[in-house]
A and B are shown apart, each in its own frame.
Chain A
Amino acid sequence: MSTREIRVYKDLMGANEKWAGATRTLLSDQDVVMLNLIGSPGAGKTSLLEAMTPHLSKQARFAVLEGDIETTRDAERLDRLGVPVSQLLSGGACHLEARLVNQALTDFPLRDLDLVFVENVGNMVCPAEFDIGEKAKIAVLSITEGEDKPLKYPLLFREARAVVLTKTDLLPYLEFDLPACRRNIAQIDASLPVFEVSAMTGEGVPAFADWVINTPQTVL
């Protein structure tokens, strides 16, 4: 019996990276900035987009790619506000991959858009692993999840270019330690901007919407 060892050195993200690169070229040719919203189920990603819509739609033309395992409920919520939205059903997969996103973008009239938000499948682990061709990943963390979450999911907070803390209207009712949460985020990346937002009251929403419009294309 003879055994042979074959050296390969093959990047396992290679195929995904190729699609992500194609998407990046497509978007930059059309001057469109794509942001990838990542957070756990129920963090308030759809609510954040709903709350930003009145503010954003005055300043930019935007569309949303909704990633979900099942149902078109989130897409319907945004469609009611008149936001162009396309639903991606991952069919059980816990994240979106670059090829699916690239194909979904063909649904949008990119030349008439400034921004595309991708609402990734609710999950703080897998979506952080996969480049989908976005300009920046945005971590969405609700205060009901606890201030320790950045430390438990360091890859997401290392990959993200901004953090949105949602549901801040609940601060008086919870034992959430906001300064500790900010320290935990800084521990992973001290340069990350952190936005405190309540989709319910609207507090903090304009500040994040302004960042979205002004920052990613110039600074990131």
Chain B
Amino acid sequence: MHEFSICRDILAAALEEYRALDPAPKRLKAVRVVAGGMHQIIPEYLATAYGILSRDTPAAGSKLDLVIKPVTGRCRECGWEGEIVPPFFQCAACGALAIDLMQGRELYLDRLEVEDHEHERDQGL
């Protein structure tokens, strides 16, 4: 269910950026979001939420690309750094349960892809 809350924030941020573009594009083609693995986002649910929430907005018909970043951590005991597979926050080298997270909590709007109007000089050629 948290996909809907997250999607509402994605759309608000994407539309704010889109409306501020100058010159105004013809349409919004795609929105890319980067999310860390800690957020446990289910891509299919997020896509469903995006389809529903984007209706009747300039984002209608655009595509949501979700990039999930793996969770990584550093061991406080031995200094090991590497990928963590939640829920096992354990050092792969020494087995210590002493992992500080390095990556995996991020959630940001990465980029928009827009289609521009044809340039005037291209018309009629």
Partner of A188, one of B10, B87, B119: B87
Given contacts A8-B109, A11-B107, A188-B87, whether A3 and B114 have CB atoms under 8 Å apart is: yes
Q: How many residue pairs, one in A and one in B, have C-beta atoms under 8 Å apart? A: 102
A80 interfacial by beta-carbon distance below 8 Å: no
Report whether A188 and B109 are in contact in the complex, using a CB–CB cutoff of 8 Å. Answer: no
Question: Is B49 in the interface zone, CB < 8 Å from A?
Answer: no
- A contacts with B, residue count (CB < 8 A): 35
- Min CB distance, A1 to chain B, in Å? 6
Asked if B48 lies at the interface with its beta carbon under 8 angstroms from chain A, I say no
| Cβ-defined contact, A8 with B115, below 8 A | no
Would you give the 0/1 interface string for A115-141, flagging 1 where the beta carbon is closer than 8 Å to chain B?
000000001011001000000000000
Chain B interface: which of A21-29, A57-65, A152-160? A152-160
- In the complex the two chains form, is B109's CB within 8 Å of A9's CB? yes
- Please provide the chain A residues from 73 to 130 with a CB less than 8 Å away from any CB of chain B in the complex: 93-95, 123, 125-126, 129
Q: Does B6 contact A (CB under 8 A)?
A: yes
A190 to B90, CA, bound (A): 10
Residue pair A5, B10 in contact (C-beta under 8 Å): no
Residues on B facing A (Cβ under 8 Å) = 1-2, 5-6, 9-10, 13, 17, 21, 25, 29, 33, 38-40, 86-90, 97-98, 101, 107-116, 118-119
A residues with a Cβ closer than 8 A to B are 1-13, 15-16, 93-95, 123, 125-126, 129, 150-152, 154-155, 157-158, 184, 186-190
Known contacts A12-B13, A154-B89, A189-B97, then 16 further A-B pairs from the complex at CB < 8 Å, ordered by chain A residue: A5-B113, A7-B110, A7-B111, A8-B17, A8-B112, A10-B17, A13-B9, A125-B1, A125-B2, A125-B40, A129-B39, A152-B87, A155-B39, A155-B86, A187-B88, A187-B89
